[in-house]
Amino acid sequence: MKHEECLICGALLEYLTEETEMTCALCHKTEGSKTRCKNGHYVCSACHTTGLDEAVFLCLKSESKDPLDILIRLMEQPFCHMHGPEHHVLAGAALLTAFRNAGGAIDLSAALGEMVRRGREVPGGACGFWGACGAGISTGIFISIVTGATPLDRANFALAHQMTARSLSAIGRVGGPRCCKRNSFLSVLEAVEFVQAHLGVRMESYTPRCRFSAYNGQCIGANCPFWHGDQKENEL
């Protein structure tokens, strides 16, 4: 995991006020975006999320009932960066895995495939540009998948929206700037309580001590519920 943000040169990212045509430095696809590094490099979401097949493989092997344990293991893999749209899949994938392992009746392989497809559609920067962090949205996708919700449902439609709203509320209470790790932790913790209350499946959970803050140039330190001041970079 790099301390810097650009996957090409390591420079800090910048966010533009208007969408601009950009060409991905890795796959050379051209598309509109508001995000690039200070040196002008752009990496598309598809390239940024390369490696999600490995995430699915790790989830299918896991026997953990704790989505935070699963999530942190996924975050430690080379395909997961400090920030990025991969978190829009990983939060929900960890929840699906723990839910199945805790007794939830789902086809995990099929559910993870659906999580990847839906989560990849939430773009990077949604937290600031949409007012809806992709990690929070990922928990709503998780509920939609396990309940089989559709736009025409009544009860399950409501549950999915309530889950997303609860996650986004937790993220909003802490505030910015964005941290994909912090927002994923907050969202998953909310989902564990929500699932036990509404679906009767008891997943395990704990409050993690962040091991990623040394890689986050915008870490809010003691204002983050997962920060601890004695962390040393060589512990990561």
- Residue 156, burial from CB neighbour count under 10 angstroms (0-12, 13-18, 19+): middle
Residue 18's pLDDT is 87
**What is the predicted pLDDT for the residue at 3?**
52
State whether residue 112 is helix, strand or coil: helix
Cβ contacts of 8 within 8 Å, gap of 6 or more: 25, 26, 37, 39, 41, 43
Locate all alpha helices (DSSP H) within 102-235, ordered by sequence. 108-119, 126-129, 134-147, 155-174, 180-199
Report the half-sphere exposure of 117 (CA within 13 A, side-chain side): 7
Measured between alpha carbons, how far is 61 from 50 in angstroms, rounded to an integer? 20
Ranges in the chain, pLDDT < 70: 1-4, 230-236
Query: Contact 103/73 with Cβ under 8 angstroms?
Result: no
Residue 205's identity, in one-letter code, is S
The greatest distance separating any two alpha carbons of the chain, rounded to the nearest whole angstrom, comes to: 51
The number of beta carbons lying within 10 Å of the beta carbon of residue 3 is 11
To the nearest 5 percent, what fractions of the chain are helix, strand and coil? 50, 10, 40
* Closest by CA position to 95, among listed 150, 159, 145, 168: 145
**What is residue 5's predicted lDDT score, i.e. its pLDDT?**
80
List of residues 6+ apart from 234 with CB closer than 8 A? none
What pLDDT is stored for residue 14 in this prediction? 87
pLDDT of residue 235: 42
For residue 43, which of 30, 24, 27 has the smallest C-alpha distance? Answer: 24
